[in-house]
Homo-oligomer: A and B are copies of this chain.
C-alpha cells in the first residue's frame, strides 16, 4: 500500500500536468482578433518550432526584429523622440539666449513646430544635435530616464510608455516563450531607447539597434567618460536597417515587424532568404482608437511597402479589425 504522503505527491504531480496543458492551450495573443494576421503569426511560430517538421529552425537562429515608432508604440502627432527634443530645448533655452532669434529654435520656442520643421532635414539635425549632444552617455541616459518617467503625450496625456501596443507586447512575449531572441531595429536613437526598453518591452539594451551620433572617449579628472558629439554616426532607417542588422546582430532575422516605408528594406532583407520567413506590416487604420494614416502621412508613411506587401505575401495587420485592444490600459 502507498502511504498518504506518496498519494498526495502523485496528485500534485497530476495537477501540474493539467495546469501545464491548460497553459499551453491558453491563447498567447488574447488581444488579437481571430483572423488572417493572427493566424499567420501563430502558424509561422508553430511551423518553425515543431521538431522534425520541414520548417524547423533551431533556437539559435530564431531572430525576430521589430521597428519601434508606429510598430511597438505610437508615433503621432509626431515621433515621440522629437517631442523629447522639444522638451529638452525648452529646458536648455535659458542657457541659450541666442536661440530667441535663431532658427529653428526661435520658432520652436514660440510653439511653432511646423515653422521650425520647415527648415527640413537641416532643421531636424540642428534640433537633434542641440538636444542630444554635448553631455556624457551617462548624463544622457539619466535625462532620458527622467523624461520617460514624467513626460506626458500632448493629446492623450498618458505617459509615453503607456502608448505601447498591447497586441505587440503579446507578440514579443509569445516569441520569447518560443525561443526567439527579440530585437528592436529602429530609426530612433539607440541611446534614447535603451534606458527603458527592458522594463517596457522586455528587450535588453544589447538587443536594441538604432540611429546614433558619434561618441568620444575622454579622461575627465582621471575618470573615463564617453562624450556625445554633434555628429551623425549611423542612420538606422530604410536601406540602413539591413546594414544595421548585419552590423549589430550579425545574422538575418526570420521574422520582421514594421509599419512604414522605413521598414521596406528590413522586410525585404528578412523575407528574401531561404527557409520560412515572416514579414508583417502594422497598418494604422483606426482613427477612433488610435490614428488612421498611410500613403500620404509625413510621419510613418506607408506607401511602397504596402504595395510590396501584396507582391511578397507579407502579412498586413489591420489595427481596426485585428486588434481588440490597442493600449495596455484598455485591458485593465
List residues of chain B with CB within 8 A of the CB of A198: 60
Q: Does any Cβ of B come within 8 Å of A315's Cβ?
A: no
A243 touches B226 (CB 8 A): yes
Number of interface residues of A (CB under 8 A): 40
Q: How far is the CA of A239 from the CA of B215 in the complex (A)?
A: 10
Q: How far is the CA of A240 from the CA of B204 in the complex (A)?
A: 23
Task: Write the nearest CB–CB distance from A298 to chain B, whole angstroms.
Answer: 24
List residues of chain B with CB within 8 A of the CB of A248: 206, 248
A243 touches B265 (CB 8 A): no
B206 touches A250 (CB 8 A): yes
Stretch at the interface among A16-24, A117-125, A216-224, A286-294: A216-224
List residues of chain B with CB within 8 A of the CB of A223: 272
B2 touches A249 (CB 8 A): no
Q: How far is the CA of A243 from the CA of B228 in the complex (A)?
A: 10
Closest to A198 in B: B60
Provide the A156-181 mask, 1 if CB < 8 A to any CB of B, else 0. 00000000000000000000000001
Q: Does any Cβ of B come within 8 Å of A326's Cβ?
A: no
List residues of chain B with CB within 8 A of the CB of A215: 243, 246-247
List residues of chain B with CB within 8 A of the CB of A226: 242-243, 246, 269
Please provide the chain A residues from 63 to 78 with a CB less than 8 Å away from any CB of chain B in the complex.
Answer: 63
List residues of chain B with CB within 8 A of the CB of A1: 1
Most buried by B among A208, A223, A226, A265: A226
Q: Does any Cβ of B come within 8 Å of A285's Cβ?
A: no
A251 touches B205 (CB 8 A): yes
Most buried by B among A3, A206, A223: A206
Task: Write the nearest CB–CB distance from A56 to chain B, whole angstroms.
Answer: 19
A265 touches B208 (CB 8 A): no
Q: Does any Cβ of B come within 8 Å of A6's Cβ?
A: yes
Instruction: Quickly give the copy total for this chain.
Output: 2
Contact of A269 among B207, B217, B239, B268 (CB under 8 A): B217
Q: How far is the CA of A272 from the CA of B136 in the complex (A)?
A: 15
A224 touches B269 (CB 8 A): yes
B212 touches A249 (CB 8 A): no
B2 touches A265 (CB 8 A): no
Closest to A269 in B: B224
Chain A residues in the interface with B (C-beta under 8 A): 1-3, 6, 60, 63, 137, 181, 190-191, 194, 198, 204-208, 212, 215-217, 219, 223-224, 226, 233, 239-240, 242-243, 246-251, 265, 268-269, 272
* Seed contacts A2-B2, A217-B239, A217-B240; 20 additional CB < 8 Å A-B pairs: A6-B6, A60-B204, A181-B206, A190-B250, A191-B250, A194-B251, A206-B206, A206-B249, A206-B250, A208-B250, A215-B247, A217-B243, A217-B269, A219-B268, A224-B265, A224-B268, A224-B269, A226-B242, A226-B243, A248-B248
